[in-house]
Structure 1
Amino acid sequence: MKLRARPRPELHDRLLWQCASLLLSYPDEDRFATVAELLDHLEGAAAEQLSSTLAAIRALDPLQAAQDYVQTFDLRRRTTMYLTYWTAGDTRARGNAMLAFVAAYRDAGVAPPCDEAPDHLPVVLEFAATVDAAAGRRLLAEHRVPIDVLHGALSETRSPYAPAVAAVLSTLPAATDTDTRRAQRLAAAGPPAEAVGLQPFTLTVPPRRGERIS
């Protein structure tokens, strides 16, 4: 029997990030098929978490999967995947925070996304997986607290997306006590509020498909 070789740690994380990026994007069967292929090269707890998300979404009718995605990520602030929303809220500082993502992409030799905000978690995961693992890991680690808040909110509602976010967290340095307290405060009180000065990124929360947010 031929044993399957384990991917190197960095390759393992890049494969994991790619799977998570696809799973956390708008539901699409072609994306799911790619995830299934990539999961053949992963193992361990993170692979089980990603497989759990994949199986749960694939078990739904496509229309139901799309509706659930919109309900989860477009209509609820607590489960937004725009990372700077939690660190800067609707404040002047958020524009600069998003420009830091743009700078990281350009420094790595790629253009920032034109159809999505640069701090959207699936975008950051795609960048880390396919362009610059070190820069991508840094962006993710710097925004571990927002990712923790997202995971907590998804877990509370038993969302099938929670395991995929947990898999992403497993690739980052362990949360410190300060990180944990900050995540708890953000989850309870929400982000800073000051609804001005967000140019050029003004249409990020709520996302474009949503009409109401709770």
Structure 2
Amino acid sequence: MHSDAVLYQASALCLTYPDEDLVERLPLVREAAPPLRAFVDHAARTPLPDLAAHYVEVFDFKNRHSLYLSWWRDGDTRRRGMSLVRFKDLYRAYGLEFTGEELPDFLPAVLEFAARTGNTDPLTDHHDGLRQLRSRLSDAGTPYASVLDAVCATLPAVRTGVRS
């Protein structure tokens, strides 16, 4: 098992639409993934309807905080379709079939993939987009930034001058 598997799985939970399942698992996430404590503490003290409204405000109205990794590289272009196919092909190569309601490049799905397989290539390949998302979430002052901080801290540093 990859050393960051628990963090990736917990981060995936934190970055999905908040529901009762999240609320019930917060004590476990707090214990198992210490780097997520800032977010967990915020989520634990925020009423679920307010937490859900904040999630929608942050992630559902603007691509500025897109949780779809291919969007950061491809935008809304034809290239994005091929990127999505590559994600699905990668999942299949590990014997996994992507059946989620979201697209295969949805960050929580990619984090779950990394947690289950130990393959962090999709995260590393999209490190630049993750850093941009983290920066924009930080600028917006949302607690979700701390989740991206924790995820990005597990990835190798990006060398300047090299585009991923």
TM-score by length of 2: 0.92
Give the match for residue 120 of structure 1: 106
How far apart, CA to CA, are the structure 2 residues paired with 1:77 and 1:157? Answer: 13
Per the TM alignment, residue 39 of structure 1 is displaced from its structure 2 partner at its CA by 3.8
| Aligned-partner SS, 1:150 | helix
Paired residues of 2:29 and 2:40 also in contact (CA < 8 A): no
Q: Deviations over 1:72-114 (max 9, x none)?
A: 0001211010010110111111000111110010000010134
Give the match for residue 160 of structure 1: 143
Pick one of 53, 56, 67 that aligns with 2:39. Answer: 53
Per the TM alignment, residue 36 of structure 1 is displaced from its structure 2 partner at its CA by 2.6
Give the match for residue 87 of structure 1: 73
Give the match for residue 155 of structure 2: 172
Identity value in percent: 34
Q: From the two aligned structures, give the one with the greater helix fraction.
A: 2
Per the TM alignment, residue 142 of structure 1 is displaced from its structure 2 partner at its CA by 0.1
Give the match for residue 109 of structure 1: 95
Q: Does 1:15 align with 2:6?
A: yes
Paired residues of 1:73 and 1:81 also in contact (CA < 8 A): yes
Pick one of 23, 27, 30 that aligns with 2:18. Answer: 27
- 1:161-200 maps to which residues of 2 (within 5 A)? 161-178=144-161
Per the TM alignment, residue 157 of structure 1 is displaced from its structure 2 partner at its CA by 1.2
How far apart, CA to CA, are the structure 1 residues paired with 2:61 and 2:69? Answer: 16
TM-score by length of 1: 0.72
Give the match for residue 133 of structure 1: 118
How far apart, CA to CA, are the structure 2 residues paired with 1:123 and 1:65? Answer: 21
Per the TM alignment, residue 63 of structure 1 is displaced from its structure 2 partner at its CA by 1.0
2:113 alignment partner AA: F
Question: Cα–Cα, structure 1 residues 35 and 15, in superposed 2: closer, same or farther, change >3 Å?
Answer: farther
- Structure with higher Rg: it is 1
Aligned residues: 164
Paired residues of 2:30 and 2:40 also in contact (CA < 8 A): no
Question: Cα–Cα, structure 1 residues 178 and 57, in superposed 2: closer, same or farther, change >3 Å?
Answer: farther
Give the match for residue 78 of structure 1: 64
Q: Deviations over 1:127-154 (max 9, x none)?
A: 1112x112xx001000001111110000
Runs ≥4 in structure 1, deviation > 4 angstroms? none
Q: Unaligned 5+ residue runs, structure 1?
A: 1-7, 184-214
Paired residues of 2:18 and 2:51 also in contact (CA < 8 A): yes
